[in-house]
Amino acid sequence: MSLIIGHARTAAARLLRRSPASILLRRDSPEAPALGRRPVRRMGTARVGESVSTAYEECSDQVLDFPGGKVSFIPEMRFLSESLGERIGCYRVLDDNGQTVSGSTFHEVSKEVAMKMYRHMVTLQVMDTILYEAQRQGRISFYVTSTGEEAINIASAAALSNEDLVFPQYREPGVLLWRGFTLQEIANQCFGNKEDYGKGRQMPIHYGSKKLNYFTVSSPIGTQLPQAVGAAYSLKMDGKNACAVTYFGDGGTSQGDFHAALNFAAVMEAPVIFFCRNNGWAISTPTTEQFRSDGVVIRGQAYGIRSIRVDGNDALAVYSAIHAAREMAVGETRPILVEALTYRVGHHSTSDDSTKYRPIDEIEHWKSARDPISRYRKWIQRNGWWCDAAESELRNSVRKELLQAIQVAERVQKPPLEELFKDVYDVVPSNLKEQEKLLLQSVKKHPGDYPADVPV
Question: Could you say whether residue 279 binds ligand TPP (CB under 6 A)?
Answer: yes
- Beta pairing, strands 244-249 & 306-311: unpaired
Q: Is 163 marked active-site? A: no
Task: Give the integer Cα–Cα distance in Å for 156 and 158.
Answer: 5
Question: Could you say whether residue 348 binds ligand TPP (CB under 6 A)?
Answer: yes
Query: Which option in ligand TPP, Mg ion, none does residue 220 bind, with CB closer than 5 to 8 A by kind?
Result: ligand TPP
Cβ-proximal residue to Mg ion, closest one = 249
Least Å from the CB of residue 343 to Mg ion: 9
Of the candidates 179, 181, 199, the one whose C-alpha atom is nearest the C-alpha of residue 189 is 199
Tell me the sheet residues that pair with 306.
336
Question: Could you say whether residue 138 binds ligand TPP (CB under 6 A)?
Answer: no
Task: Give the integer Cα–Cα distance in Å for 56 and 29.
Answer: 16
Least Å from the CB of residue 10 to ligand TPP: 49
What are phi and psi for residue 430, nearest 5 degrees? -60, -35
**Considering 172, 254, 348, 354, which one is annotated as catalytic?**
348
Helix 372-382 to helix 315-331 angle, to the nearest 10 degrees? Answer: 90
Task: Give the integer Cα–Cα distance in Å for 120 and 174.
Answer: 7
Tell me the sheet residues that pair with 244.
165, 272
Of the candidates 105, 100, 114, 8, the one whose C-alpha atom is nearest the C-alpha of residue 63 is 8
Question: Could you say whether residue 147 binds ligand TPP (CB under 6 A)?
Answer: no
CB-wise, 214 or 281, nearer to ligand TPP? Answer: 281
Query: Which option in ligand TPP, Mg ion, none does residue 299 bind, with CB closer than 5 to 8 A by kind?
Result: none
205: which DSSP letter? T
**Considering 219, 234, 284, 392, which one is annotated as catalytic?**
219
Q: Is 83 marked active-site? A: no
Angle at 199 between CA 195 and CA 204, to 5 degrees: 90
CB-wise, 61 or 371, nearer to ligand TPP? Answer: 371
**Considering 50, 133, 163, 289, which one is annotated as catalytic?**
133
Question: Could you say whether residue 171 binds ligand TPP (CB under 6 A)?
Answer: yes
Query: Which option in Mg ion, ligand TPP, none does residue 339 bind, with CB closer than 5 to 8 A by kind?
Result: none
Task: Give the integer Cα–Cα distance in Å for 279 and 134.
Answer: 25
Of the candidate residues 128, 185, 250, 339, the single one contacting ligand TPP (CB under 6 A):
250
Least Å from the CB of residue 50 to Mg ion: 35
Residues with a known catalytic role: 133, 219, 348-349
| Positions that interact with ligand TPP (CB under 6 A) | 171, 219-221, 248-252, 277, 279, 281-283, 344, 348
